[in-house]
Amino acid sequence: MIRSLILVSLASGLAASQTAPAPAPELVVSVKPLKDVYTVGEPIRVRYEIENVGETPFYMSKRIDPIGNALGCVSLKVGAEHGGEGIVETKNFDLSSDYWDNRDIQEEIRTNWLLLQPGQFYGMTATVGFTSLKAGHYSVVAEHASGQVSDKEKSLLTDLKFPLLLGTHSSKPARIKVIDRPRRKQKWHPALH
């Protein structure tokens, strides 16, 4: 009797562990300007990263460049400190419907996604698609958008050992100061005065 209770208990524990959903990815998106102060008209360069801060690995799209793409991207959003909705630099394009209708999602995950282990980060350095025309304080936010995976495709991925990173995730704003270009001092010349 005790043996059958133990077997039933083990079997129900095994069934529960097989049906338990994988924990959701835990991550932090961060963005940092390469300099704190830029001059008017100077290209603004930033570094952004996606870090796995949880205890479980997750799959994420390798595509993180700041150009809109249905396979994944990072949008860099610039806002002025005083007013306005801000400037968003995104260049969106989509793939043809033939691609979506015929793609092999398991091959896509294998070739275009990576497994980000706990403590690992993935990122790049990029130029923000915005040029400041006047001095002031600005903020930059990096928003990571994962690759698109349909509900039908998700049903084909039930055997994945770890979860996919889906949806959008944003960084905290990073502040940038933009100053006027220093004026050149003209040399004093006796003939001009």
We report the CATH number of the domain holding residue 95 as: 2.60.40.10
Closest CA to 160 of 14, 21, 13, 17: 21
User: Does 95 map to a domain?
Assistant: yes
Q: Residue 62 domain-assigned?
A: yes
**Better pLDDT: 52 or 65:** 52
In sequence order, the β-bridge partners of residue 140 are 78, 174
- Determine the structural domain holding residue 38 and report its residue range: 22-181
Q: Is residue 103 assigned to a domain?
A: yes
Q: How far apart are CA 193 and CA 191, in angstroms?
A: 6
Domain count, the chain: 1
Mean pLDDT of the chain: 82
Please answer whether residues 126 and 65 qualify as being in contact, where contact means their C-beta atoms are separated by less than 8 angstroms.
Answer: yes
Name the least confident of 10-14, 76-80, 185-189.
10-14
Structure confidence at residue 45 (pLDDT): 95
- Secondary structure E strands in the chain: 27-33, 37-39, 45-52, 58-61, 73-80, 87-89, 113-116, 121-127, 136-145, 168-170, 174-179
* 52, part of any domain: yes
In a domain, 5, yes or no: no
Predicted confidence band of residue 188 (pLDDT cuts 50, 70, 90): low
| pTM of structure | 0.77
Alpha helices in 20-128 (DSSP H): 97-102, 105-112
Compute the C-alpha angle 23/50/73, nearest 5°: 105
Task: Tell whether 15 is covered by a domain.
Answer: no
